[in-house]
Amino acid sequence: MENSNKYPVWERPVFLFVITLAGGFMNAYTFVTRHGILANMHTANMSKLGVSIALGNWDDALFYFLPIICCIFGAASSEWLKAVLTKKERKHDWRICALVIEAIALFLIGFVPLSADDFCVTLPSSFFMGYQLCLFRSCMGTAHNTTICTGNIRNVGQKLFAFLNRRDRKSLKNLVMFASITFAFMLGAIPGTLASNALQEKAVWCCSLVVLLLAFWMVQIENRKAKEKALEEKNQ
């Protein structure tokens, strides 16, 4: 398996494992606290939207359509933020600022009471899951999604074939690594469910804290790299 240290921190397996856990946590959070709604399962929402239109259930169609639109706007907002923050040279990567914004937004969601309409939570959750989806797109050069699973499951199948075909240690390590990151989504749903049952609407603060800590981790890694680079230049 390749040395992950040659990749930026946001493409490394450990980082992506944790941020994918957060994606699973958020899905469980909306499911438990918002009457079974999975905020970022938009493949299912697309199918349910089509079924609702075919049956003439326009209220249901709107129910499934709005989260999809919010996810689209979330992805667009992430790209807009990237365009704005990369216009000028910055000390740190733009994704750090993006993560801090997401952490703040998730923290604010925790103040929405259970008595409020479900859309007050599920729509911003869908927005920020689409937003996060554009922040981290690959693991050591291989496509990876942190808030949805279908493409990741495909990756595991491809890595499985590679191992069965080659039967070497490198292929096995790649299979285990990508399977672990993929199932991190499921693992994140476990504390997401337990925390939501215990803390109710405030459970999302756990996810907010994790996202914020990831941003600080990125800052620490970049600061360390900058110091190492300065030291190398000084010694030359």
When pLDDT is cut at 50, 70 and 90, the band that residue 1 belongs to is: low
Residues 44-49: contacts with CB under 8 Å, at least 24 apart? none
More confident residue, 225 or 214: 214
Query: Has residue 111 got a pLDDT over 90?
Result: yes
Mean pLDDT along residues 16-38 = 92
Look at residues 201, 223, 218, 197 and name the one whose alpha carbon lies nearest to residue 19: 218
Q: What is the CATH number of domain 10-141+188-235?
A: 1.20.1250
Query: Has residue 217 got a pLDDT over 80?
Result: yes
DSSP 140: T
Report the distance separating Cα 156 and Cα 90, nearest Å. 36
Mean pLDDT along residues 153-177 = 93
Question: DSSP string covering 50-87, please?
Answer: HHHHHHT-HHHHHHHHHHHHHHHHHHHHHHHHHHHHTS
Q: Is 142 exposed, middle or buried (0-12, 13-18, 19+ CB in 10 A)?
A: middle
Neighbours of 138 (CB within 10 A): 14
Lowest mean pLDDT among 16-25, 126-135, 219-228: 219-228
pLDDT at 16: 93
The 3-state DSSP class for residue 139 equals: strand
